[in-house]
């Protein structure tokens, strides 16, 4: 979605107030300048540039910068969230979650031998912080335009170019040095799934919420799985427990609803 917004806003940025001169009146330009300058400039930069429809508005207001910057910031925030998730999911191996393993790109911690820092997720997060800071700068500069002219475009353009540049470079590094090398610790993930009390959701759906809650609390109290408690209490047969308490069932809402309906229909019959 952020990429789509950036592409759409980029199209709008092709309209320029070049030739507006004094406050948008086109005062002092020669005849034919407006008709000639845009085709020549477009050929030089390789982008189809056009004059802003309202030159007065083009000099007074710079809201298009806010649109572009906010789209870049939205992308940065999404990437930062992904990086945070990777730091959490790859934490461990003994005192963390450890569901994922991310590539090692440095020898390790200078303080704790054997500790490997998640430097690539941390790198991209710091870039995203800078992008958000630049967006705030752009907002302030756009808002502070006075009367007929916004004179703060130098800092706007500097902040915009910096944000786009560091995020672009950072994303390529993040993809190459981190994303491509991620491995999933499947056995550990499946162990977490099998022992998760989230499976009590199935019991609550098959029977009722109080039953699901009771089973979950007993499982936690006795250090057992939802499957073990369900079989011990006679709620499900071993075969039924294998079928309905398969963790993968919780990943497919449509199949989950179908299975629950089939079970209840079978019991009613």
CATH number at 73 reads 1.20.200.10
Catalytic residue IDs: 109
Q: What is the per-residue pLDDT across 150-192, written as a single tens digit (0 to 9) for each?
A: 888 899 999 999 999 999 999 999 999 999 999 999 999 999 9
Residues 148 and 66 in one domain: yes
Q: Which of 145, 160, 184 is the last residue of a domain?
A: 184
Clarify whether residues 163 and 209 are in a common domain.
no
pLDDT at 12 over 80: no
Mean of pLDDT values over 10-22: 72
Q: Where are the alpha helices (DSSP H) in the chain?
A: 2-12, 33-45, 55-60, 63-89, 119-143, 153-177, 186-195, 200-206, 209-222, 226-232, 238-244, 253-268
**Average pLDDT score, the chain:** 88
Q: Is the pLDDT of residue 9 over 60?
A: no
Residue 99 · residue 185 · CB < 8 Å: yes
Work out the average pLDDT over 242-263: 90
Q: Is the pLDDT of residue 233 over 90?
A: yes
| Cα 114 from Cα 143, distance rounded (Å) | 50
CB 173, CB 120: distance < 8 Å: yes
Residues 9 and 125 in one domain: yes
**Residues 216 and 154 both lie in one domain:** no
Question: Which residue, of 137, 162, 184, is where some domain finishes?
Answer: 184
**Residue 220 to residue 215: CA distance in whole angstroms:** 9
202 and 136 assigned to the same domain? no
pTM of the shown model: 0.78
- Do 157 and 180 belong together in one domain? yes
pLDDT at 150: 80
Task: For residue 215, name the pLDDT band (cuts at 50, 70, 90).
Answer: very high
Domain extent, residue 78, equals 2-184
- In a shared domain, residues 69 and 132: yes
194 and 169 inside one domain: no
Closest CA to 182 of 237, 250, 121: 121
Q: Are residues 26 and 132 in the same domain?
A: yes
Token couple for 116: 């490997």
Same domain, 164 and 90: yes
What is residue 168's predicted lDDT score, i.e. its pLDDT? 95
DSSP string, 198-256: GGHHHHHHHS-HHHHHHHHHHHHHHT--HHHHHHHTTSS-HHHHHHHT-GGGGG-HHHH
More confident residue, 266 or 124: 124
The total of structural domains in the chain comes to 2
Pair (85, 44) in one structural domain: yes
What does the pLDDT read at residue 151?
82
pLDDT of res. 7: 65
* Highest-pLDDT range among 19-23, 109-113, 152-156, 179-183: 179-183
Q: Does residue 244 share a domain with residue 130? A: no
Position 8 scores a pLDDT of 60
Domain boundary among 149, 166, 184: 184
Name the more confident of 161 and 2. Answer: 161
Query: Cα dihedral angle (150, 156, 161, 166), rounded to 10 degrees?
Result: -170
């Amino acid at each position: 979605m952020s990429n789509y917004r950036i592409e759409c806003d980029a199209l709008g940025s092709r309209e320029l107030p070049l030739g507006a001169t004094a406050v948008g009146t086109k005062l002092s330009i020669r005849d034919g300048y407006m008709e000639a300058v845009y085709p020549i400039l477009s050929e030089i930069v390789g982008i189809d540039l056009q004059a802003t429809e309202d030159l007065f508005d083009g000099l007074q207001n710079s809201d298009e910068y806010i649109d572009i910057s906010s789209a870049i910031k939205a992308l940065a925030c999404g990437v930062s969230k992904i990086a945070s998730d990777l730091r959490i999911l790859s934490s461990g191996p003994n005192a963390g979650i450890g569901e994922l393993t991310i590539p090692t790109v440095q020898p390790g911690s200078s303080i704790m031998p054997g500790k490997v820092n998640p430097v690539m997720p941390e790198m991209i997060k710091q870039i995203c912080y800078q992008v958000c800071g630049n967006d705030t700068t752009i907002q302030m500069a756009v808002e502070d335009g006075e009367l007929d002219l916004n004179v703060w475009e130098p800092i706007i353009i500097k902040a915009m170019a910096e944000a786009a540049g560091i995020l672009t470079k950072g994303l390529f590094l993040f993809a190459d040095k981190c994303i491509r090398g991620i491995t999933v610790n499947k056995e550990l993930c499946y162990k977490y799934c099998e022992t998760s009390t989230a499976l009590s959701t199935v019991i609550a759906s098959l029977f009722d919420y109080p039953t699901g809650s009771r089973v979950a609390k007993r499982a936690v109290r006795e250090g057992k799985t939802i499957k073990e408690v369900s079989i011990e209490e006679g709620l499900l047969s071993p075969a039924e427990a294998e079928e309905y308490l398969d963790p993968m069932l919780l990943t497919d809402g449509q199949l989950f609803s179908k299975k629950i309906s089939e079970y209840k229909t079978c019991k009613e019959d």
